[in-house]
Amino acid sequence: MIKEKISYPSPEEEMEILNRIESGAFARQPAVLKITDIDRVQEIVQKVYADKAIKKYIAQIVDVTRHADDVLPENMRGYVRIGASPRATIAFLSIAKAVALMQGRTYVIPDDVKRMRHQVLRHRVNLSYAAVADGLAPETVIDQLVGSVRTP
């Protein structure tokens, strides 16, 4: 559903990993959650309310990835080769509901969608060779695209 960027640990962090392994910190622990708990949370997430305006906002964000040259600044036109598919729309709604729930809300706000824009779109918006050759990060294009859509 999302693509998170994870970097390698620093040497100091790797030393901490080794120390924790030696101390037994990673020894077999009892499960924190049961499968039934996870199923229940998934059911609750589905019940989080997303207003029609939020759904329209999500659909517009995904649509603009397919027509990027219409909204990108002139120096970035031609940088999006392929926009996001309907799976991005589905992922946005699901992850926005989960974020809302984690924030203690039973409803989605636009910031829940915006907060997850990079994770949802970074592997769904396919940049052109020119963008890659120019060293453009997908997040830069995503910010431009999402910023072009009026927030409800």
Average pLDDT in the chain: 93
- Strand, coil or helix: 49: strand
- For the chain, the domain total comes to 1
- DSSP strand pairing (126-127 vs 80-82): antiparallel
Q: Is residue 17 part of a domain?
A: no
pTM of the model: 0.84
Q: Is residue 67 part of a domain?
A: yes
Expressed as residue numbers, the domain containing 81 is 49-152
pLDDT at position 29: 78
Q: Say how many C-beta atoms besides its own lie within 10 A of residue 138's C-beta.
A: 21
Q: Which two tokens stand for residue 147?
A: 């910023």
Q: Is residue 107 part of a domain?
A: yes
Give the model confidence (pLDDT) of 52-108 as tens digits: 999 999 999 999 999 999 999 999 999 999 999 999 999 999 999 999 999 999 999
In sequence order, what DSSP letters do the residues of 87-117 get, joined into one string?
HHHHHHHHHHHHHHHHTT-SB--HHHHHHTH
Cα atoms found within 13 Å of the Cα of residue 128, Cβ hemisphere only: 12
Find the CATH number of the domain harbouring 91. 1.10.8.80
